[in-house]
Structures are given as C-alpha cells and as structure tokens.
Structure 1
C-alpha cells in the first residue's frame, strides 16, 4: 500500500498502457509515480539461527525438589521439578520436569 506524499491519500494502481509503464496515481491531486521493472538484488545474506536457551538449565535443577513422576521418554520414576507462571496470573502455573536418569536428562512440562 502506497500513500501520496502530497496529500496523504492512498494511491491507486493503473495498468501499463502502450508505451507507458504501470503507475500509482492519486485521485485527489496530480501526483503520479511510475513503476519500473528494474529490481536488483545486491547480495544475499544468510540468516543465522540464534541459539535457544533452555527454560530450565541443568544448574537450576540441581537444587530443585524431587518427586515421583514417570519420564515419558525413558520411563524412569523420579524427576526434579520447578514451577513457573508462564501465562497470566489467573491461569494455573506450569510444572517443568527433568528426568533424574543419568542417561536421559530430558525435560517435559505439565500445564
């Protein structure tokens, strides 16, 4: 959407006709902006993904209380847990668990 720099109205699109290029024009004032098909890509830039920080780091779970919870990944029966308020105050808190099995160490949550 383009707007007229003179009066601020939304510009209308007009199709090309004979040797005249396509253009935007203002219906309220004489402003006209020709559209040329000269698009140049100067360079391509690769996007770099940011590293995602874990919600609960392993250091947070070292001193966390333990409970009897079955790990959905390995079936181990004990996990450390931490409770966070992830939504608004009138919603219940979210429980984050970390498996205490040395080989697993996976995290899951319960809403």
Structure 2
C-alpha cells in the first residue's frame, strides 16, 4: 500500500493505457507517481536459519515431579511434568510431559 506524500490519502493504481506507463495516483490531489517496468535488485541477502532453543532442558525434566499420565506413544502410566505459562496471563498454563518409560522417553504437551 502506498500513500500520497502531499495529503496522506491512499494511492490508487492505474494500469498502463495507450503507451502511458502504469502509475499510482491520488484521488484527492493532483499527485501522480509513474511506475517503471524495470526493477533492479541491488543486493541479495542470504537468509540464515537460527537454532531452535528448547523450552526446557534435559535437566529440567529429570528433576521434575512425576504424575500418573498415560503416554500417547507407548501407553506407559507415569510421566514427569513441568508447567509453563506460554500464552497471556488470562489463558491457562501449558503442561509438558516426558514419559518415564526407559524405552520411550517421548515428550508431549497438553493445554
């Protein structure tokens, strides 16, 4: 969206017509901005993927209290849990679980 530099109204777009280039124009004042067909890219910037930081570390879950929760992956009946406020204060907290079965050790969340 482009705005008129003289009056601040939103500019309207007009397609090229009979040899005239396309343009932005203001419906409230006489401002007109012609659009060139050629666009130059001055520099390319390489995007770098950032590392994802875990919400909690492995140490947090080893010292966490355990509860009777059924693992959705293996069906084991005990899991360690941590509670975090991941949304706004008026929303309920999110519970993160880790299966205590030595063969599974999967993590899931509720809430």
1:16 is paired with a residue of what secondary structure? coil
Match of 1:109 in 2: 109
Write out per-residue CA displacement over residues 4-58 of structure 1, whole angstroms, 9 at most, x where no aligned residue.
1122222222222222111112233322110111123345444333222222221
2:33 is paired with a residue of what secondary structure? strand
Runs of 4+ in 1 over 6 A off after TM superposition: none
Unmatched 5+ stretches in structure 2 = none
2:71 is paired with a residue of what secondary structure? coil
Number of aligned positions between the proteins: 111
Instruction: Confirm whether residue 13 of structure 1 aligns to residue 13 of structure 2.
Output: yes
Write out per-residue CA displacement over residues 34-88 of structure 1, whole angstroms, 9 at most, x where no aligned residue.
0111123345444333222222221111211122322211233321111223344
Which range moved further: 87-96 or 15-24?
Answer: 87-96
In 1, Cα distance between the equivalents of 2:29 and 2:91?
A: 54
Matched ranges for 1:49-88 at <5 A: 49-88=49-88
Q: Could you tell me the TM-score, scaled by structure 2's length?
A: 0.77
- Label 1:49 to 1:7 Cα distance change in 2 as closer, same or farther (>3 A): same
- Label 1:73 to 1:2 Cα distance change in 2 as closer, same or farther (>3 A): same
User: Cα RMSD between the aligned structures?
Assistant: 2.3
Match of 1:34 in 2: 34
Q: Could you tell me the TM-score, scaled by structure 1's length?
A: 0.77
Unmatched 5+ stretches in structure 1 = none
- Label 1:56 to 1:16 Cα distance change in 2 as closer, same or farther (>3 A): same
